[in-house]
Structure 1
């Protein structure tokens, strides 16, 4: 082949991952090789306690910048498909698809209620008190991180502004699919996991009436979604002319129905090929795996062939991540954010920064090495915190207690504030997070899940101490770390090339 012919023979797929604090894009080949990556930070506003807001325009802009960066050295005609995943945040747009403010100050740019926004805690409690049948699909307790309580908060607090003006409410992953294609079709992943939608029965009118949001039923639920499709299904006619220009791609490029960011990671972990690695799950069904997606928060995902109801754990959700399988999703509302909060808030943090910079390592790599130095025997490192204990629910307990009013605690502090003290508090925090994971695994096993192997991905999975502590705490589970940019597969599915992509 000539050079030009070779370029046309290469097929690429783009995955765009919108996390809590940044957008990442990856360019992936047909055999699953990641050739280029790019990352851009996104803005977060915290106007008051438990209120977290973002801008959909800022997020889309960063998506476009990262995609252009990863495709700048290739012929964009070779890009066959693109897929998006994002946090399960709530986006408000008016009838002209322009941003609508989700705040009392009326700043339209801030039109996204983030997943971690807990302003609707009281509304979530009231929804739980209805004991409506749809709550069986969310572990029996409605979380303020889901969309119904957020919508109810907007109606009760911004009735004359946001609620009156808004014509469309999107989960952020679906906003990105709409922005790319112009299609209002929503992903089953978002609707089932965060909106109480049933793949077989659709919306439950009695639920929305019971919680005071019957106005969303108007025009066949046009504000929150009239059509749904499986993750990875082609959306619309591919990229619109405007979206293609924004992204630097070709009009009509296939776009796959989106996933929540954690579920994209879960899809990659559940489908990982472990042949020859001698893991307990090598010759066992995918239902023996738990995917732990650990970043700002953590999600613990397991699937089953039959619905399993786990008190305090979200689900069971049918076909929300893998077609035909039921998903249970546990989680911890603050993990990476908690570690950062504990470390950066300590009096010895400045000293830690200076020491890490001197050695050209991250503060966490330095802390890990410092702890090894504090322990005479690496095998006994975990005993360093025998008199220091952390309860990690600083942002409430997502699972399995399902108590968003829970608060964190530290027991065993002294008047000392040295670098050693910071290292011990850091270790105790990681141990507390790992114990939370064990609590979730135990609850899922008690309900019928047969979990033998724990797969990790996300930022915290790059921390060796975090992974080792989880291995020590969960006992018989083996741990494997794999990339979570599985959203490129969504684009491949949409382009009908999925059989050519390998996990």
Structure 2
């Protein structure tokens, strides 16, 4: 009996640029993460609600983590690379050199982050137009989208930035350009954050109405006039320079990118749940919502026909899963809010000390502390007299009010660790109640949702997961592969390589 020789395993690289770090993974053709690395990136906050980054710093981190995950691997077996990133705005001049997005003139700070809220006046004026494109963003454009940021640049940095700018990229598209030298944009980014439509393209009347007619005159060269579907191969693959930077072979396939939340949704929403007795078993993926929870949270639901949900972004055609319409709810501050509340408490130094002594993270320690003080009660009942309103950074969905502020009700004079643990719990409960509000709004508009799929950093916190199950009343599913966002990025690379016929086959 002759043994059959197995073909060498194929690999794909997924790179995920989050708010505060860059991560990379080497993923095999079976969807298993073989190697993983991460590196922090810088954030500048020169004034309240202004958040900036450096595209050079981000690219350097991409190169560093990629070299780590491919070290020791036969380069000929690495078939493709996919990028995802936050929907931040990157500005470069006509020679693709960084341009300052700040009054200080610091050119290396050329990225306005997704969570930047400087363009409040601009987005209010855009929403006052009631232009038809706004129907595809829940009726109200968010300050976190790109048109208000572009208008802010034109009105505040006319000479130093606007007139010198050659290209405005969404960060995921900047990365695919950096890798290939091709300025094509992803359908995901331009549809979800720039008002492009998959059937009609750019709407000249919108840009002229809001005072950005300059972008129309050059046939949208500055913001993209060549749009590719996510996972489609870009150009001729990695350029020699990018290949050297990343430690990868020249010419390997580079995929049109995804926004980070959409990569997470792609990586988790199609999970095989057979045998787990879940309500979504034997149901289409339209019965599922993927919740990507990290610094912020995004709630991704798909449908076969367009569903217009007040206060929820979309419907976007083929923005995440090809052939399906996407609605995207969200909370602007979740992980960031939990950190803010916990680290700002007077008992935080005590928490740090005790967590370090027990060799646990601060959140693992807090979860254990809640178990100690709850006695015979379910942990959720500990906060019967303590409540948090979680919109410390405004409300993205479904109230669409960026002026809302946060609130804590039920405080006492206690300054100890018990009080900190309770505020931590109440904050998580408030976030989960916000998720329930989003899901109920989507269901009222026509979505049929019976299961919640979680991924991202907060999905690794058992208390966060349990509160979402308890408060939404829906089963919560966690993927066996915890790095769903990186797997989603790698799926793009696998699709671009031609090894798989489509994103659906890959996932």
Shorter-normalised TM range? over 0.9
Greater Cα shift, 87-96 or 476-485: 476-485
Q: How does 1:111-190 map to 2 (within 5 A)?
A: 111-190=110-189
CA distance in 1, matches of 2:273, 2:506: 12
Partner of 2:449: 451
CA distance in 1, matches of 2:47, 2:63: 30
Q: Is the 8 A contact 1:452 1:478 kept in 2?
A: no
Partner of 1:426: 424
CA distance in 1, matches of 2:355, 2:458: 18
Q: Which of 482, 490, 493 pairs up with 2:492?
A: 490
Aligned-pair CA distance for 1:302: 0.3
1:469 to 2:463 alignment: no
Cα deviations across residues 60-108 of structure 1 (Å, max 9, x unaligned)? Answer: 0000000000001112121100000000000000000000000000000
Give structure 1 stretches of 5+ with no counterpart. none
Q: Secondary structure at the match of 1:144?
A: coil
1:244 to 2:246 alignment: no
Aligned-pair CA distance for 1:484: 2.1
1:331 to 2:330 alignment: yes
Cα deviations across residues 25-59 of structure 1 (Å, max 9, x unaligned)? Answer: 00011111111000000000000100000000000
Q: Which of 392, 398, 401 pairs up with 1:400?
A: 398
Greater Cα shift, 470-479 or 310-319: 470-479
Q: Secondary structure at the match of 1:257?
A: coil
Cα deviations across residues 346-386 of structure 1 (Å, max 9, x unaligned)? Answer: 000000000000100000000000001011125x2111111
Partner of 1:415: 413
Q: Is the 8 A contact 1:256 1:490 kept in 2?
A: yes
Q: Is the 8 A contact 2:36 2:69 kept in 1?
A: yes
Q: Secondary structure at the match of 1:110?
A: coil
CA distance in 1, matches of 2:234, 2:260: 18
CA distance in 2, matches of 1:381, 1:315: 36
Q: Is the 8 A contact 1:489 1:498 kept in 2?
A: no
Q: Which of 369, 381, 384 pairs up with 2:382?
A: 384
Cα deviations across residues 275-323 of structure 1 (Å, max 9, x unaligned)? Answer: 2222111100010000000000000010011111111000011111111
TM-score, normalised relative to structure 1: 0.97
Q: Is the 8 A contact 1:31 1:502 kept in 2?
A: no
Q: Secondary structure at the match of 1:300?
A: strand
Q: Is the 8 A contact 2:23 2:37 kept in 1?
A: yes
Aligned-pair CA distance for 1:403: 0.4
CA distance in 2, matches of 1:222, 1:235: 17
Partner of 2:69: 70
Over the aligned positions, Cα root-mean-square deviation in angstroms equals 1.2
Q: Is the 8 A contact 1:77 1:249 kept in 2?
A: no
Partner of 2:313: 314
TM-score, normalised relative to structure 2: 0.96
Q: How does 1:60-99 map to 2 (within 5 A)?
A: 60-99=59-98
1:207 to 2:209 alignment: no
Aligned-pair CA distance for 1:502: 5.6
Aligned-pair CA distance for 1:476: 3.2
Greater Cα shift, 172-181 or 493-502: 493-502
CA distance in 1, matches of 2:96, 2:77: 31
CA distance in 2, matches of 1:76, 1:475: 47
Cα deviations across residues 438-467 of structure 1 (Å, max 9, x unaligned)? Answer: 000000000000000000000000000000
CA distance in 2, matches of 1:107, 1:304: 44
Q: Secondary structure at the match of 2:163?
A: helix
Q: Is the 8 A contact 1:279 1:478 kept in 2?
A: no
CA 1:176/1:357 → structure 2, altered by over 3 Å: closer, same or farther?
A: same
CA distance in 1, matches of 2:83, 2:107: 24
Q: How many residues align?
A: 497
Partner of 1:296: 295
Q: Is the 8 A contact 1:331 1:399 kept in 2?
A: yes
Cα deviations across residues 110-137 of structure 1 (Å, max 9, x unaligned)? Answer: 0000000000111111100100000000
